[in-house]
């Protein structure tokens, strides 16, 4: 084997230092109306994919963040009435008293750790389709949201709200407030952002009213003011009232009396809420992926709010660096550090900072797989934190691991994301771990892909795990170590995990929407050739039916090298699945800046070395491109030869357990590889269970959806 990187020092968990003096400001309490946040770490409202169907999954997910030190832990959107029905996308409800008990599970769990529980009371207005309730959506002036993606399209248009409709919404907010208080929430939200009802009243594009709720900025603010007032009137001194507001569009609007309409709204409402929660207008800009948005990207839009109100302000920016957080506080940008994605990637981020262990933070990579889970309608998942969403279902804790009862050993072959995660979890469970990588670099596909434009932050997947493994005394790490079956078995370990990844194939795409026969031509390349710089030719076609980020990034990369680059895909958009991760608009902008020529709904049929024959997927219209190289980004095949050899070598004799993990088991995104490695290692100790099935909390007999 190659050179060992065995580190024999004790694990850092037992040598935690005190909080760095410059970070102590983050642990100061903050008064929010009648309640006090124990520190400045505030898990802002974010979707979890856990509705009333999964109340225990939801409670455990939120509780883990409170246990990890987040002083405030919030729900995602909680609908106040069936006229705000986002199904089949996941959302929570407080439509009647039957919903109280499921939310109480979360508040009780959050309170166990001394944190405050916040609820994002929400009416979606014209931005919801009410597919299940079948009620007309509500809009200030009947203006609908004309979504460009089929998942958000609907043919039921909103009704123009009457004065009676406004009064009803205020009444629904009051009833939802009452139920939220009964459920135990400490902070109650009014939501005026992201295209939802309060936001629609604020923006003149939505609000064409000529009564006291439309026209001037003072009138357009009235609905939001009344929602805040009715919430406060019902809450009294039992809970704080927060306003969540999007300011991007408003800041770009000229005002006769203020620097912008955003300044005007904050001035007019400055002392009405107990807390300002400030954000962007659309999901791609609000939750910008790291490929296109740096840490703290919101600041240029929201930096004025604290100057115009004496109420505390919370905002987000994918904050992972404690120094950046402190800077936000010291410079008067924010009072509370909001975290959504960062709190998913590492629920114990605050505790690690408090204990002087910031190096151990599992930093968010900004891949937005968590957001894709909401689009998919499933409980949240995370590339960095395989335990997200599995706290109750599988009993997985991000920082606590069952210990092996016997001194067994594990060999991990492959140092990519699956292998590194498997090694780390196995080591934390007390196994003697050896991990071998055939190249001279750890990271596998992560190390290769993060050389490409915009993906450098994703290297945190590798860096965190390599660092954590290097701190452990029961891990030996070897690079430049290519093992065959005999060598692997000769080490005498009790368990072997094969994490050798997958390779990209040169298969074409069939009209049946599956990979078809491969092409075998000299000027046909795969992503591996891109990583090694082996793609020759000045005119290149990237043919992508993988549909996630890689095909688009490769096209951008080749164009920046000066190659005339075409991108073709059978899908309707370039890198079509990046819609799920909020990246699609920025993918198009990046490809446009790079001069890449796009061909969507287009299939590659033939290539003769100088000409590529393509055709439209639907009408078979032919397209011919003059190119001298093609990169196919489509189908991957597991590298499982070592596994097959081990199985054959071990037949008929006592042998270690042998497992495939990660892409070598089933190719997927990095999140799937990490999850696979984690699941394998947990399974070395814990009883094998797919997952627990949650059940809704239901009353003894059915209740009407919304009693008046």
Separation of alpha carbons 453 and 451, rounded Å:
7
- Phi, psi for 133 (deg, rounded to 5): -70, -30
Separation of alpha carbons 647 and 526, rounded Å:
29
What is the 3-state secondary structure of 477-524? Answer: EECCCCCCHHHHHHCCCCEEEECCCEEECCEEECCCCCEEEECCCCCE
Separation of alpha carbons 170 and 201, rounded Å:
14
498 burial via Cβ count (<10 Å: 0-12, 13-18, 19+)? buried
Q: Which residue has the tokens 């949650």?
A: 694
Pull the structure tokens for residue 706: 């919304």
Q: Which residue has the tokens 């389709």?
A: 129
Q: What phi-psi label fits residue 40: left (phi over 0), alpha (psi between -120 and 50 degrees) or beta?
A: alpha
Q: Is 196 a catalytic residue?
A: yes
Whether 373 contacts 671, CB under 8 Å: no
Could you write out the DSSP letters of every residue in 173-216? Answer: HHHHHHHHHHHT-SEEEEEE-TTSHHHHHH-TTT----STTSSS
Whether 92 contacts 103, CB under 8 Å: yes
Q: Which residues of 431-448 are buried (b: 16+ CB within 10 A; e: fewer)?
A: bbbbbbbbbeebbbbbbb
Separation of alpha carbons 13 and 401, rounded Å:
13
Pull the structure tokens for residue 215: 């026209």
CA dihedral 128, 130, 131, 135 (to 10 degrees): -150
Can you point out the beta strands (E) in 12-137?
30-32, 35-37, 41-43, 72-79, 92-93, 116-122
Separation of alpha carbons 451 and 441, rounded Å:
13
Separation of alpha carbons 269 and 54, rounded Å:
36
> By C-alpha distance, which of 344, 420, 359, 391 is closest to 676?
420
Query: Among the options 42, 189, 196, 643, which is catalytic?
Result: 196
Whether 126 contacts 200, CB under 8 Å: yes
Q: Helix, strand, or coil here: 648?
A: helix
Q: What is the DSSP letter of 438?
A: S
Whether the CA torsion 311, 314, 315, 319 is positive or negative: it is positive
Catalytic residue list: 196
């Amino acid at each position: 084997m190659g050179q060992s990187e065995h580190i024999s020092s004790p694990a850092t968990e037992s040598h935690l230092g005190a909080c760095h003096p410059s970070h102590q400001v983050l642990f100061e309490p903050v008064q929010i109306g009648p309640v006090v946040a124990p520190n400045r770490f505030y898990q802002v409202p974010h979707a979890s994919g856990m509705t009333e169907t999964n109340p225990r999954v939801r409670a455990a997910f939120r509780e883990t963040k409170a246990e990890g030190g987040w002083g405030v832990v919030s729900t995602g959107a909680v609908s106040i009435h069936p006229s705000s029905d986002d199904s089949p996308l996941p959302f929570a409800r407080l439509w009647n008293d039957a919903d109280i008990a499921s939310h109480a599970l979360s508040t009780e769990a959050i309170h166990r750790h001394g944190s405050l529980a916040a609820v994002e009371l929400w009416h979606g207005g014209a931005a919801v389709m009410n597919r299940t309730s079948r009620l007309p959506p509500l809009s200030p002036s009947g203006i609908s949201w004309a979504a460009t993606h089929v998942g958000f399209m609907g043919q039921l248009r909103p009704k123009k709200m009457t004065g009676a409709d406004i009064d009803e919404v205020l009444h629904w907010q009051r009833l939802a407030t009452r139920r939220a208080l009964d459920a135990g929430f400490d902070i109650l939200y009014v939501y005026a952002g992201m295209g939802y009802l309060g936001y629609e009243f604020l923006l003149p594009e939505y609000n064409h009213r000529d009564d006291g709720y439309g026209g001037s900025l003072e009138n357009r603010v009235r609905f939001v003011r009344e929602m805040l007032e009715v919430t406060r009137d019902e809450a009294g001194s039992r809970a704080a009232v927060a306003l969540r507001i999007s300011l991007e569009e408003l800041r770009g609007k000229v005002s006769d009396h203020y620097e912008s309409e955003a300044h005007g709204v904050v001035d007019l409402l400055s002392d009405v809420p107990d807390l300002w929660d400030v954000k962007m207008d659309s999901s791609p800009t609000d939750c910008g992926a790291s490929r296109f948005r740096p840490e703290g990207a919101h600041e240029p839009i929201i930096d004025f709010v604290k100057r115009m109100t004496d109420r505390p302000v919370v905002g987000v920016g994918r904050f992972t660096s404690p120094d950046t957080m402190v800077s936000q506080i010291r410079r008067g940008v924010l009072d509370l550090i909001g975290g959504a994605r960062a709190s998913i990637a590492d629920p114990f981020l605050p505790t690690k900072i408090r204990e002087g262990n910031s190096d151990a933070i599992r930093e968010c990579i900004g891949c937005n797989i968590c957001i894709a889970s909401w689009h998919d309608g499933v409980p949240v998942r995370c590339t960095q934190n395989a335990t997200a969403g599995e706290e109750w279902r599988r009993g997985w804790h991000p920082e606590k691991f069952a210990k092996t009862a016997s001194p067994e050993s594990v060999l991990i072959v492959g140092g990519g994301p699956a292998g590194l995660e498997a090694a780390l979890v196995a080591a934390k469970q007390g196994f003697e771990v050896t991990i071998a990588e055939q190249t001279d670099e750890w990271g596998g596909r992560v190390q290769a892909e993060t050389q490409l434009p915009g993906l450098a932050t994703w290297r945190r997947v590798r860096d965190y795990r390599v660092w954590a493994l290097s701190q452990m005394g029961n891990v030996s790490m070897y690079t430049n170590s290519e093992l065959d079956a005999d060598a692997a078995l000769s080490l005498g370990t009790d368990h072997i995990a094969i994490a050798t990844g997958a390779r990209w194939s040169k298969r074409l795409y069939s009209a049946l929407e599956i990979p078809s026969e491969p092409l075998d031509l000299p000027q046909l390349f795969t992503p591996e050739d891109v990583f090694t710089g082996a793609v020759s030719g000045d005119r290149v076609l990237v043919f992508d039916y993988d549909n996630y980020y890689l095909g688009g990034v490769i096209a951008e990369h080749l164009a920046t090298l000066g190659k005339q680059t075409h991108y073709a895909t059978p899908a309707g958009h370039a890198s079509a699945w990046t819609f799920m991760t909020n990246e699609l608009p920025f993918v198009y902008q990046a490809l446009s800046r790079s001069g890449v020529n796009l061909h969507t709904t287009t299939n590659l049929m033939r290539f003769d070395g100088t000409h590529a024959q393509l055709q439209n997927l639907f009408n078979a219209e032919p397209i011919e491109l003059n190119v001298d190289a093609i990169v196919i980004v489509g189908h991957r095949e597991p590298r499982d030869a070592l596994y097959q050899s081990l199985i054959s070598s071990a037949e008929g004799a006592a042998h270690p357990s042998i497992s495939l993990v990660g892409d070598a088991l089933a190719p997927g995104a990095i999140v799937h590889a990490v999850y696979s490695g984690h699941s394998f290692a947990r399974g070395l100790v814990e009883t094998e269970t797919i997952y627990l099935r949650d059940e809704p909390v239901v009353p003894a007999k059915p209740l009407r959806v919304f009693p008046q």
